[in-house]
Amino acid sequence: MKNIKLLLGTAIAGALFLTSCKGNENNEPTNNSDISVSREMVAELTAPPHVPTPIGRRKAKKLKVNMEILEQEGELTDGVRYNYWTFGGSVPGSFIRTRVGDEVEFTLSNHPDNKLPHNIDLHAVTGPGGGAESSFVAPGFEKTFSFKTLNPGLFVYHCATAPVGMHIANGMYGLILVEPEGGLPPVDKEYYIMQGDFYTKGKNGERGLQPFDMQKAVDENADYVVFNGSVDGLTGDNAITAKVGETVRLYVGNGGPNLVSSFHVIGEIFDKVYVEGGDLINENIQTTLIPAGGAAIVEFRVDVPGSLVLVDHSIFRAFNKGALGILNVEGEENKKIYSGELREGIYLPEGPGIQSMPTTDEIVESEVPAKSMEEQMKFGKQVYMQTCFACHQGEGQGIANAFPPLAKSDYLNADVDRAISAVVHGLSGEITVNGNKYNSVMTRQMISSEEVANVLTYVYNSWGNNGTVVTKEMVEKVKNK
């Protein structure tokens, strides 16, 4: 009996092996390395937050990818410049979209104006160094190599030239998507987002051209943690958009080089998460971990309008180091899903006693003063996004019944000294702004006199306010009363 079972088992195993080698009932190979290609095409490459056209049901092809390495200066945040090393001229690098079975012919060009050699390691590649050993290229040269896409998923690519961490920290990373046969299910909107941590010689916000700081990187002490290469990479004009009722798919990567991302969208729940960019799908997720050198695909339907905030939920990174983006959703409200405020009351659990503000004298004055109104606006916006954004929102609209608006604010425009005092000394108790009452606490802001002047100048010259220019001397006068 044992021999009969053994023979039957061997016969079944052999049949399965032959089936896997020969293909399925449609005579298509089930081993992805055996998928044949038809014709060739040049890959569409896109800069973030855009992604190329979905693969759909196209057949496997010889896919020609042409990517140029550019070393170029850019803006990390207002007034802070940085020498980025890039794949395709953006951080993250160009998005590459393929399908299982494609034969990718990859040409990597190092611009002759660059100073350093580079290469590329694609996590989607099965082969030495993920392609790094075949792509090491000096300035003014190019290298071509090829690979077969065997595994579906969302994969990181990065430079792997020594010192590897330095090349990655300077912005040399991106995403390559390998779609399964037949493509991913269609959605209404797709976007490309990648987190990275940056290490500068100067402290956070210190202006001018900032060089890379190797010791900070070794210590994993990031000055900036950002989406898409800069503090405003996904805010303002760079914000992504959707309409109520649309389904949104985010391809989210983490270039690192060091920090793990706790990716979260404030005001949404992920319907699906392709965990670590692979086949495993988790549902109804609030926050998903994305390791350095890893990725995830998140999908959700937007049901109500508003500005949804994308963050690394290691929250000081979001509101103090830059890991914050905006998804603006337009459309009709749905009171069944979100009612807005229903009522307002008074809550005094600690009684009527006077609450004191936290204080400290450890305020460092800015070393580089603004030299023009234009610089005041730029530097003021930077302070606003780091200090004021969470409560007063991106367009100064505030949060109903909690934090007053700064846009077209009668309270603000009536008395500049009072506004300065609120920033430098704090403010509590009931106030009326544009006819509505607010009774919350604004703590003293631990920023320098020049930063107070810059941020208030930015606020006064934005969103329909009266255009007051606040100077450091005006701030010092209020401080010394």
Band of the pLDDT at 393, cuts 50, 70, 90? confident
pLDDT in tens, 185-205: 999 999 999 999 999 999 998
Please state which of the ranges 68-72, 172-176, 210-214, 350-354 shows the lowest mean pLDDT.
350-354
CA distance 416 to 413: 7
Mean pLDDT to the nearest integer, 109-122: 98
Tokens for 181? Answer: 């046969």
Q: Which residue is catalytic, options 46, 144, 287, 471?
A: 287
Helix pair 449-460, 373-387: axis angle to 10 deg? 100
Confidence band of 367 (pLDDT split at 50, 70, 90):
low
Report, as an integer, the average pLDDT of 453-471: 94
More confident residue, 446 or 107: 107
pLDDT tens figures, 301-330: 999 999 999 999 999 999 889 999 999 999
Please indicate if the annotation marks 313 as binding a ligand: yes
Closest of 460, 471, 448 to residue 205, by C-alpha: 448
Q: What does the pLDDT read at residue 382?
A: 85
Does the annotation mark 172 as catalytic? yes
Report how far residue 294's alpha carbon sits from residue 274's, in angstroms, rounded to the nearest whole number.
12
**Catalytic-role residue among 118, 268, 312, 377:** 118
Q: Which of 71, 121, 232, 450 is an active site residue?
A: 121
Q: How far apart, in whole angstroms, are the C-alpha atoms of residue 467 and residue 30?
A: 67
CA distances from 303 to 82, 243, 264, 334, 478 (A): 39, 9, 17, 7, 46
pLDDT band at 11 (very low <50, low <70, confident <90, very high): very low
Q: What is the model's pLDDT at position 17?
A: 32
The whole-chain average pLDDT of the chain stands at 88
- Output the pLDDT for position 440: 76
Quick one: pLDDT at residue 433?
93
Q: Which residues of 185-212 are buried (b: 16+ CB within 10 A; e: fewer)?
A: eeeebbbbbbbbbbbbebebbebeebeb
Q: Tens digits of per-residue pLDDT, 15-61?
A: 333 333 334 445 555 588 888 888 999 999 999 999 999 999 999 99
Compute the CA torsion angle 291, 122, 48, 242 (nearest 10 deg): -60
Average pLDDT over residues 407-436: 91
Q: Is 159 a catalytic residue?
A: yes
474 is in an annotated binding site: no
pLDDT of residue 345: 57
Does residue 14 have a pLDDT over 70?
no
Q: Which CATH superfamily is domain 29-334 in?
A: Cupredoxins -  blue copper proteins (2.60.40.420)
Q: Which CATH class is domain 373-479?
A: mainly alpha
Q: What is the pLDDT of residue 24?
A: 47
163 preceded by a cis bond (ω within 30 of 0) = yes
**Residue 111 annotated in ligand binding:** no
385 catalytic? Reply is: no
Cα-trace Rg, the chain: 27
pLDDT of residue 370: 81
User: Could you give the percent of the chain with pLDDT greater than 70?
Assistant: 88
283 is known as an active-site residue: yes
Crossing angle of helices 449-460 and 472-479, in 10° steps, is 120
What is residue 391's predicted lDDT score, i.e. its pLDDT?
Answer: 82
Span of 253-267, 351-365, 425-439 with lowest mean pLDDT: 351-365
According to the model, what pLDDT value does residue 10 have?
38
β-bridge pairing 270-274 and 281-285: antiparallel
Scanning the structure block, which residue is given the tokens 């996004």?
385
The response to whether 425 counts as a known ligand-binding position is no
Which pLDDT score, from 0 to 100, does residue 447 have? 85
- Reported as a pLDDT band with limits 50, 70 and 90, residue 481 is confident
**How long a stretch of residues is the chain?**
481
- Mapping DSSP onto H, E and C, the string for 394-443 reads CCCCCECCCECCCCCCHHHHHCHHHHHHHHHHCEEEEEEECCEEEEEEEC
Range(s) of the chain covered by CATH 2.60.40.420? 29-334
Catalytic residue list contains 50: no
pLDDT digits (tens, 9 = 90+) for 141-159: 999 999 999 999 999 999 9
pTM comes to 0.77
pLDDT of residue 20: 35
Kindly tell me if the per-residue pLDDT of 161 is higher than 70.
yes
Residue 389 has a pLDDT of: 82
What does the pLDDT read at residue 6? 37
Q: Which residue did the predictor score with more confidence, 428 or 164? A: 164
